[in-house]
């Protein structure tokens, strides 16, 4: 990524409210009280800088595919989206929707429940899929499925959830990479680290071209689409870090690691 000066607005700290009313943040919603409670404390202890924000669609449905290296990632990505006028809706495990207070709040915010096991593993409910398209909403899907197990924090092997959703719905996949969240919440912990002040950079990429794969989510198409999505995310992270990622993505199965939960 080309060097940018400190006065470049793309590097300005993300603030609680967008500079201009956004398509999804200008009207009251369940996101407002959550944003009011979460964003000010985070920005009081960390700096979030957004690069290439024009690559995020301002209207219409989309799938946002980020890398995953810290438990605070969803907050950082969510703040970036909120700042750009889009509501941060996540695909989340269905068990969370059964938790008192949290479950109804997640439903009100439009988050999407998915099963992480059984025959319906990774499948998005048809009603949720139709809503995303008909109401022009975006959804955030972590294609790795969990925190990366790569010891150097590069994106690991991807799962097919984001690819399946993109092929079935025909909506664009926007890759996004971020770096620095591990400075605010170290890897595989839920503890904050406030010194030195963490700086989190978030960069958006061009839509991943899946147009030649059609709309039939067969095994070959899903594998190819997933590989393209992970390659796009990795390339963005290389730009942020100024380093080159390994040629082979980390595969937890080859290293005797579980693919979900604490490791």
Q: Domain segments of the chain: what residues?
A: 48-254
CA angle 155, 185, 253 (to 5 degrees): 35
Average pLDDT over every residue of 219-231: 96
pLDDT above 70 covers a percentage of the chain that reads 85
Question: What's the CA gap between 100 and 104, in Å, rounded?
Answer: 7
Collapsing DSSP states into helix, strand and coil, what is residue 220?
helix
pLDDT in tens, 40-79: 999 999 999 999 999 999 999 999 999 999 999 999 999 9
Residue 15 pLDDT level (bands cut at 50, 70, 90): very low
Residue 22's pLDDT is 65
Instruction: With beta carbons less than 8 A apart as the criterion, state whether 66 and 146 touch.
Output: no
What's this model's pTM, rounded to 2 decimal places? 0.86
Averaged pLDDT score across all residues of the chain: 86
pLDDT of 230 > 80? The answer is yes
CA angle 49, 54, 60 (to 5 degrees): 120
Collapsing DSSP states into helix, strand and coil, what is residue 11?
helix
3-state helix, strand, coil in the chain (%, to 5): 35, 15, 50
Q: Which of the four CATH numbers 3.30.565.10, 3.40.50.970, 3.30.70.20, 3.40.1130.10 does domain 48-254 have?
A: 3.40.1130.10
Which pair of tokens denotes residue 89? 């809706």
């Amino acid at each position: 990524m080309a060097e940018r000066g400190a006065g470049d607005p793309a590097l300005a700290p993300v603030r609680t409210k967008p500079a201009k009313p956004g398509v999804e943040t200008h009207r009251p919603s369940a996101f407002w009280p959550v944003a009011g409670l979460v964003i000010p404390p985070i920005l009081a202890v960390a700096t979030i800088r957004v690069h290439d924000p024009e690559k995020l669609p301002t209207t219409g449905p989309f799938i946002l595919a980020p890398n995953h290296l810290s438990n605070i990632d969803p907050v950082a990505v969510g703040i970036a989206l909120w700042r750009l006028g889009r509501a941060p809706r996540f695909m989340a495990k269905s068990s969370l929707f059964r938790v008192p207070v949290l479950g109804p709040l997640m439903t009100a915010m439009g988050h999407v429940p998915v099963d992480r096991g059984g025959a319906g593993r990774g499948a998005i409910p048809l009603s949720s899929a139709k809503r995303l398209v008909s109401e022009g909403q975006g959804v955030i899907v972590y294609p790795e499925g969990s925190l990366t197990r790569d010891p150097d924090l590069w994106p690991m092997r991807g799962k097919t959830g984001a690819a399946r959703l993109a092929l079935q719905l025909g909506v664009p996949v926007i890759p996004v990479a971020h770096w620095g969240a591990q400075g605010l919440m170290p890897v595989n912990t839920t503890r904050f680290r406030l010194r030195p002040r963490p700086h989190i950079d978030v960069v958006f990429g061009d839509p991943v071209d899946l147009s030649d794969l059609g709309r039939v989510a067969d095994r070959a198409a899903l594998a190819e689409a997933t590989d393209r999505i992970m390659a796009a995310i990795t390339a963005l992270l290389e730009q942020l870090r100024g380093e080159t990622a390994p040629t082979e993505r980390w595969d937890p199965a080859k290293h005797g690691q579980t693919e979900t939960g604490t490791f």
